[in-house]
Amino acid sequence: MNLQVLKLDFEKLYGKPAEAVFFSPGRVNLVGEHTDYNGGYVFPCALSYGTYLLVRKNNEHLLRFASANLDRREDVAPDKIGQPLEGDAWMNYPLGVMDQFKKKGINVEGLDLFYSGNIPNGAGLSSSASIELVTAVMVNDLFGGNLPMMEMVKMSQDAENQFVGVNCGIMDQFAVGMGKKDHALALKCDTLEWHAVPLKLDGYKIIISNTNKRRGLADSKYNERRSECEQALKELNKEGRYQTLSDIDFDTFNKIYERLSSEVLLRRARHVITENQRVLDAMKALENDNIQEFGQLMNASHVSLRDDYEVTGPELDALVEEAWKTEGVIGSRMTGAGFGGCTVSLVREDKVDNFINQVGPAYEKRTGLKPLFYIADVGDGARRLE
């Protein structure tokens, strides 16, 4: 992303130069999928892709929203911040965040705002959380909020839940806000306990591969899986000992799984419980500098998501299977909600071109879809640039 070009675009748009530039990354989850709403562990990292926000204060008592990526522009009076815009308005993400600040007595005044992102749209790398956090950091900086990052992470999740109306967990906003260069973040979603684990990728690259399959089933299946997990917890929790499925460790599960009334509930619960263990094992593998074992845990995660949780679908499976066949790949799995979206792979640096040249055509032959590939570095969280 060329910042000089963005500054020129801002000046063309608003007639004056930007006063400040902020950046917020996208994120990818390396292991720990569909565990967040079950109170479990996730293991994401922030990416070098993200959202830039150029801004200047104006004296016209207007919030002017514009984007380099989307045509729709809007002017909103600050006293209308609490009212969502109609239609598919991307401005509702920043407006929802501003509304959260307003509730804390931090009022936003007139601003010229120009958002520009290089996160691939619809790839499941969390462009919405990136927009929310870049807005939060900007408001906090320009209007004297003095709020800690974790507070802004929670406010951004509340904005998405309450204002935009998307019932997301906290992982996306957390990874985007708290990201640390060359580290993955281990987060326990029910307690918000977390720590950063060094991600030493010496000689390896993270490649995100987009299936380019629209995720039509993801929302309905997400709700279905949530209710299956709630039912499984109910049936396993006869003594009332567990708050979430993730409170049950693997040894305990092996003793009580016969309480479950169906094979389907058994498989759903087994995925959540084994996936939590995989995150703990992945943390240990990285702490012991064992990147090979980390890759094997990614592979095992995909198998569990495919067979026990059934959220992959033919496109994600094809992309992962072709990656597994390719020299230099130590791990590959789906990432995100499933039924389309992206895979994440760890690939030896000298085999990256070979990976793209081999996996791309093989996947296209199997599915008729052309995948897109993104080589990602692990970066810091949301911040002011200049």
Domains parsed from the chain with CATH numbers: 3-199+380-384 (3.30.230.10), 204-376 (3.30.70.890)
pLDDT of residue 124: 66
- Is residue 350 among the annotated active site residues? no
Q: What's the pLDDT tens digit per position in 177-211?
A: 999 999 999 999 999 999 999 998 989 999 999 99
Segment 101-129 mean pLDDT? 88
pLDDT of residue 219: 73
Radius of gyration of the chain (CA): 21
Asked if 379 and 46 touch (Cβ cutoff 8 Å), the reply is: yes
Residue type, 169: G
Assess whether pLDDT exceeds 70 at residue 148: yes
Give the pTM. 0.92
Query: Exactly one of 36, 172, 247, 281 is catalytic; which is it?
Result: 172
Segment 1-9 mean pLDDT? 93
DSSP 107: -
Q: What's the pLDDT tens digit per position in 297-335?
A: 999 999 999 999 999 999 999 999 999 999 999 999 999
Segment 11-24 mean pLDDT? 98
Give percent of the chain above pLDDT 90: 87
Nearest alpha-carbon partner for 29 in 174, 164, 216: 174
pLDDT of residue 337: 86
d(CA 98, CA 78): 9
pLDDT of residue 70: 86
Assess whether pLDDT exceeds 70 at residue 218: no
Q: Residue 76: helix, strand or coil by DSSP?
A: strand
Q: Residue 136: helix, strand or coil by DSSP?
A: helix
Confidence of residue 122 (pLDDT cuts 50, 70, 90): low
Assess whether pLDDT exceeds 80 at residue 380: yes
Asked if 24 and 119 touch (Cβ cutoff 8 Å), the reply is: no
Residue type, 192: L
d(CA 103, CA 377): 36
pLDDT of residue 167: 78
Assess whether pLDDT exceeds 70 at residue 123: no
Q: Largest Cα–Cα distance in the chain?
A: 69
What residues are paired with 205 via a beta bridge? 347
What residues are paired with 41 via a beta bridge? 188
Nearest alpha-carbon partner for 302 in 28, 27, 31: 31
Confidence of residue 172 (pLDDT cuts 50, 70, 90): very high
* Mean pLDDT taken over the chain: 94
Confidence of residue 105 (pLDDT cuts 50, 70, 90): very high
Nearest alpha-carbon partner for 47 in 1, 3, 6, 5: 1
d(CA 318, CA 1): 31
Q: For residue 223, report the phi and psi dihedrals to the nearest 5 degrees.
A: -65, -40
Nearest alpha-carbon partner for 60 in 17, 128, 109, 119: 109
Write out the two tokens for 67: 């984007």
Write out the two tokens for 18: 């930007």
Give percent of the chain above pLDDT 70: 98
Assess whether pLDDT exceeds 70 at residue 60: yes
Q: What's the pLDDT tens digit per position in 338-378?
A: 998 899 999 999 999 999 999 999 999 999 999 999 999 99
DSSP 253: H
d(CA 146, CA 80): 24
Assess whether pLDDT exceeds 90 at residue 295: yes
Assess whether pLDDT exceeds 80 at residue 268: yes
